[in-house]
Structure formats: structure tokens, C-alpha cells
Amino acid sequence: MASPTVYKWTDPGAPQMLRGSSVDMQAVFQAILIDGYGSQTPPVAGLNKWTIPFSDGTGFVLKQGGTQARKVCMKLDGFYSTGVYAEMECAVDYTDLNTPQNLWAGTAEYDRVGIGYSNNATYNIPWIIFATERSIFCQFGYNNEFTDTVRFDTVAATTMYNHHWFFGDYIPEDVSLTVNQCVSFSNYSSSGSSQYCESLTYSNSYSGYGKKRCSGQPGNITGEFRCDPFFSRPVSRAAVSVGSLSTSADSPRYPNLVNGGLYLDDVKILSERTIMGKFPGLLFPLQSRPFPINGIVHEIDGTGVYTGETIYVFGTTGGQYMLRDGEWGVD
């Protein structure tokens, strides 16, 4: 079992990434998961590190680390020239860059993940990656002001442009399950920047924004499946005005009037109306937008069961989600 390491573009010695650059993207993952940078070390050492077994300057294959025999892969290529997205596919393994073995059901040609946005080819894209030896949450921000920025989103006029996705092991409901890898992403045909901000925050009912998908091989149920919070409606419901709390009667407010509390819930993974498990370290606030959207990633000290942890608050067009840096329950 492992706690994640949190890697940020603002760390001393962190690699920087220009928009739409396969070379820069590979360098980021190489530094985070394999080589380390500055005082940051990879999430796992020695022969158990993540690997990049194949690359050609336009794309690369990322392969899980850890001691488990099963190490699945994600391929990233087709980087959009102004940023926004990379095309991706996932498979149990690859024999070369273009030959997947057991391509995952539910992933298809032109599936994409968001990789941030900048309106200038010389501006670096902010990124924050949570990583263990088997799982990663990737967040990419928005920069249209400076070569380098300490803000995750330099605009935040309507909402934070936070492209995000997950790849790796989830926590299975059946603890004996070892085939428990998935990828969560937004499935879009458009290249609009805002459309890659809903992978973990919009419910499938928001058909106008496409749908998020969670694909992989979850045990005996193979194929495409949904990943929704049980309280997706209050979380995803639009606020009355940007950054404000919803006044809808079915959306609980923050802080809670009884005790001032912030209520958080695990995010479940569903397949064929069956609870398969949950995302490691991922939490939803039951209250709508408890924190303001102002271009930064809020960091709060955990209390109660999260005492001693830091909880990172990410805002998107579809609500807010949170990642904790404590024990995740998977490697």
C-alpha cells in the first residue's frame, strides 16, 4: 500500500512543458516516474519503476511499475498543436509503439485526454501529478499570460481550466481482484479547451458536454463503464453565478450550518449498475463549490479520518473534486 507523491510544475528543477509537445510531455513523465528531478524522487525505486518502453518523438507508451506481474500500458500520441489534448489508447501490453496486445474494451480510435492550454507557443503549461507505483492522477492548467506562472489557471474568469484524467489501479470492491486497472477520461470529438475539464466532475446526464468514460478490464465485467459519484447531482449542478454556492434546495451548502463541516465522499466506479470499487484518493464534496474558483489549487489540512493529510481542491466547469495525499489503499 502506498501514499502518493505530489509533483508540481513549480517544484525546483521540475521539467516544463510547452503546449502540444510530445517531447516535453514525455520528459515530464520521465522525470516524475523514472528519473526524479530536484529533490523529488520517483514514487517507486529500482526495478519496480514505471517505464517508457517505446517512443519515437511523436508519441510514447507509459507502463506501470510495482512488483505485480501485470503492468498495463497507456499510449499517448497525436498531440494537438495548440495543446488541449493528446490521443490515447490503453492495452495490457505493447510489442512496439504501434502494436498493442489486448487493447482495452471501451477505448477507441481518437479517444483523448486533456493536456492543458496556452495561447502562446512559448508559454509553459502548469501541471500537477499525483503518482504511486501503479496509479496516476494528471491535472493540466491554463496559461495565457507569462512564460512561467505560479497560478494553475491565469484566467479563471468563468471556471478553472483544469484538464484531468486517471490511469492505473483502482481499489476493487472484491479485494482479491488483481485485474483492476482503468482509465478515466472525457470522450469528445471536439478540440475545445473547456471540454476536457469534466472527466471526474460531470455526470453522464450532461449530454451536451459529451460523457466521461472509464474503460478497462474490471474483473469479470469487461468493457466501457461509468464512473459517477453517488451525489453527482448536487456536485455537478451549476451555481447561480460563477464561483458562488448553488441556492437549489437539493444542494447542501458549505459551511454546514449545524457544525460548519465540509462533507466528503469517495468516488465509486460503476459497471452495469454494479459497484466495482472506487478511485484511490479521490473525494467529492457533497456541498456545491465549497471553495472559490480563483486560479489556484487550494490546499487544506485534513481533519478527522484525514488528520495529517493535505487535501488539494481542484475546480472545474462541472464542480469541484479533491485529492488527498494520505494512504490510498493501492500500490
117: in domain: yes
Q: What is the pLDDT of residue 323?
A: 96
Cell of 134: 501503479
Q: What is the pLDDT of residue 234?
A: 36
12: in domain: yes
189: confidence class by pLDDT, cuts 50, 70, 90: low
323: in domain: no
Annotate 23-87 with DSSP letters as a single string.
Answer: HHHHHHHHIIIII-BTTB--SS-GGGS-EEEEE-SS-EEEE--SSSS---EEEEE---TTEEEEE
* Residue 113 pLDDT > 90: no
Containing domain of residue 187, as a range? Answer: 5-231
Answer for the pair 83, 19: CB distance below 8 angstroms, yes or no.
yes
331: in domain: no
The stretch 211-223 carries a mean pLDDT of: 51
pLDDT digits 0-9 by tens, 98-108: 999 988 865 66
The stretch 272-277 carries a mean pLDDT of: 77
Distance of alpha carbon 182 from its chain centroid, rounded? Answer: 12
165: in domain: yes
Least confident of 218-232, 248-262, 269-283, 284-298: 218-232
- Write out the H or E segment, with its range, that includes residue 233: helix 232-236
- State the total domains in the chain: 1
190: in domain: yes
324: in domain: no
